Structure 1
């Protein structure tokens, strides 16, 4: 049951998001309008073949059914929304419908965070962590301006993590399987789930009589039974999602939509990860070649026009070696090793059953964070919006963080949310994004407390404080200076944002590895 304070907070949140109503919306707005039309106007057999718009359906089946459910309401609200040939339709009624559906669907996140607060004992710190997540600049920018449904999807993710906190591991795994059938980007954190469920749920150990204290044997029968339960639950979920398309023999077509590998290494705007630093280093070497003859003679600049300029497509480099998809896959797997180490270390912890469960669920969330980090840092064609996949589970850990965890969260959240600024490039959105991020950062730095009672700001080292404050001159240089100030280097403002925030993302990644593993 929602209390008066919960309702008041929800209304405040809705009020803030209503103020963003007239703001810019990206092409994703038309993407989802087109998906409403596809699922409403066409039979199931044609959903993943329809291509009269370039914004074809490329999410898993559960999200397609979600769009279908919304389309029933859209047909009643304004029938023109669900007309296939009505491309680019964005009248006031259409904008109103799609903005409202984002707010309504985000109630899943609100409900999940309420359960998280209960699972955390209803502490003041857990309430602050939940409030900061619900009103995070990420959801504000990406969902309520740029336009997507991440609040709804991450609400399902939070539910899954909270189920693990409560000891309902089978329900946690089943919920995660459902989430994968909504959006396949969550595959990035699947390894953490696999190891956690295999070791924490499926493996059952028994202590036999006359056996040394602390030694347990694997109960093969009970373990096999739990494995069968988990496997059956996952199979049922995927059968419900993909079964109809298997019957229609459309799985290859569906797979081609879900995994378009023809895109280049870097997105149009370099997501602030390792490859952004790599691409920027390539640009610096190109510039150096003009002043250092030895470098200029050693490289071939004939393909410079096609090199790292932030375009979607095959990304090639002028100086540094090109990166094939296989290399990013191997790098991601290697970078996920710390996540596995967290789970292995957690499985050997001692103490009471409740203490081990709390410790195990916390380490599970830590492993999810590091798994998401690895994919973000080294994945192929990473979108800047994927930073939410790290910040959401990490935000749950701020309910009772160590000083090191809180420091890294402060650095990452500032850099990560600032890295979303290029999504909102209009002059009308300039004061909005600046005010939203500034207020949120100030609140998080002041209100979040470490396990020793220190605020996030007081936990930060001097260099970390300077880095956080460095976003102010970065904002002035990249947002307030006229474009003519950069001359022929028109891509420089985006590159500066990408590189500066990538430094913070990388630093916080290394810091959390040290905090969680060492």
Structure 2
């Protein structure tokens, strides 16, 4: 069965990554073919997705691949195909709904906005027919086998409100703040559903508004990050693995070929992997966790500081390189945040591995992981929204016609 996870990744996810980086290199960042390949390799070597799909054993790459294929077709202005692939993504795994607001508002914008000059009723009908037809194709076997009642059962499984606000400790708003505010004691389940929906809508509103009024292709990845991160941080019943949803568009930002953006991607990718440590530890994947963390950072050049360090202390294991620099932003605030959170994460790992928690607080180290990871995700979420605002208020970069 594990071979099928590898095969599905080869068939769906990897081609989607290659197609996306090829489009970005050809029409946006003017990257050479070799650079496109390097960027694609860096995106594919996402340690969190690798360890979940091939260690914890799931098929998230299929869902992510279908979504990315949808984005690729949006870049090529093939809107019906984009709709079909996104419906396939939702049909494969309902967590793709994290991306649905951006896809919906982008398709709506290119069809009706502005109403005076760009209203395209044929395009809107084509998108609607493609979407509805694909849903019918997916649901038809269930209806045939079990009747219309199967639709209600599917919807019940898609929205697991019966499980409560959260089960395991996850690095989102509810788990992190539940330390001081006992939500499940103060509110009913219905009230918590409405409250989580409200916060999620507030969190995603800026990116949805931006992509509707400014449907720029270079905004797609940024807005997908903002909406999926809003779902992760504020929605009802989130799992540790749900961070894979924001991580996919986050790694797509490597196509920006901007040192500061790459440093932020490296940081949040590391913290995302760290946030899943309690799950990975339960699965006994600590060795794979350590190897993937080191190798992915080495690939991104995030370990270049080692050469400078060993040269300073006089160790001759490796030859120093004067131009080697740590992958950190130029902004002193973000550099301080990244270094501080890395130190805190390392300290928490040491404590978790060698010091037992107090008997009356058995989850203390897990709570530390949740709070630290949530703080990083919240800061990154605010940074992404700031970047979206900046990009929508500046002149649109010239993108070559495909």
TM range (shorter): 0.7 to 0.9
Residue-by-residue CA offset, 1:120-160 (whole Å, 9 max, x unaligned): 22545543332123221112221111110112221112211
Aligned positions, number = 356
* Alignment equivalent of 1:498, drawn from 370, 381, 386: 370
* Alignment equivalent of 1:176, drawn from 86, 100, 103: 86
Structure 2 Cα separation of the partners of residues 229 and 426 of structure 1: 47
Structure 2 Cα separation of the partners of residues 513 and 230 of structure 1: 28
Unaligned 5+ segments in structure 2 are 26-30, 305-324, 391-402
- CA spacing shift, 1:172–1:379, aligned 2, 3 Å: same
**2:57 maps to 1:147:** yes
Q: CA deviation at 1:235?
A: 0.9
Structure 1 Cα separation of the partners of residues 67 and 248 of structure 2: 9
In structure 1, the partner of 2:278 is 422
In structure 2, the partner of 1:299 is none
In structure 2, the partner of 1:441 is 297
CA contact (8 A) 1:408 1:511 kept: no
Between Structure 1 and Structure 2, the one with more helix by share is: 2
- CA spacing shift, 1:204–1:426, aligned 2, 3 Å: closer
What does 1:32-431 align with in structure 2 at a 5 Å threshold? 98-107=1-10, 108-121=12-25, 123=32, 124-200=34-110, 202-203=111-112, 217-218=116-117, 220=119, 223-247=120-144, 248-250=147-149, 251-268=151-168, 270-282=169-181, 316-317=184-185, 324-344=192-212, 346-347=214-215, 360-402=216-258, 405-426=261-282, 428-431=284-287
Unaligned 5+ segments in structure 1 are 1-97, 206-215, 283-307, 309-314, 348-359, 449-453
Q: Which has the larger radius of gyration?
A: 1
Residue-by-residue CA offset, 1:249-296 (whole Å, 9 max, x unaligned): 22222322332211121222x2211112211224xxxxxxxxxxxxxx
SS in 1 for 2:242: helix
Structure 1 Cα separation of the partners of residues 378 and 113 of structure 2: 38
Structure 1 Cα separation of the partners of residues 297 and 162 of structure 2: 37
CA contact (8 A) 1:404 1:511 kept: no
Q: CA deviation at 1:335?
A: 0.9
Q: CA deviation at 1:164?
A: 1.8
CA contact (8 A) 2:20 2:72 kept: yes
Structure 1 Cα separation of the partners of residues 45 and 118 of structure 2: 46
Q: CA deviation at 1:193?
A: 0.7
Structure 2 Cα separation of the partners of residues 423 and 371 of structure 1: 24
- CA spacing shift, 1:464–1:238, aligned 2, 3 Å: same
Q: Give the alignment's TM-score, normalised by structure 2.
A: 0.81
- CA spacing shift, 1:125–1:321, aligned 2, 3 Å: farther
Q: CA deviation at 1:510?
A: 0.8
In structure 1, the partner of 2:398 is none
Residue-by-residue CA offset, 1:421-447 (whole Å, 9 max, x unaligned): 111225953232122113213433549
Structure 2 Cα separation of the partners of residues 427 and 227 of structure 1: 47
SS in 1 for 2:39: helix
Structure 2 Cα separation of the partners of residues 442 and 273 of structure 1: 28
In structure 2, the partner of 1:481 is 354
- CA spacing shift, 1:344–1:404, aligned 2, 3 Å: farther
Root mean square deviation of aligned Cα: 2.6
Structure 2 Cα separation of the partners of residues 508 and 241 of structure 1: 36
RCO higher in structure (CA 8 A, sep ≥6) = 2
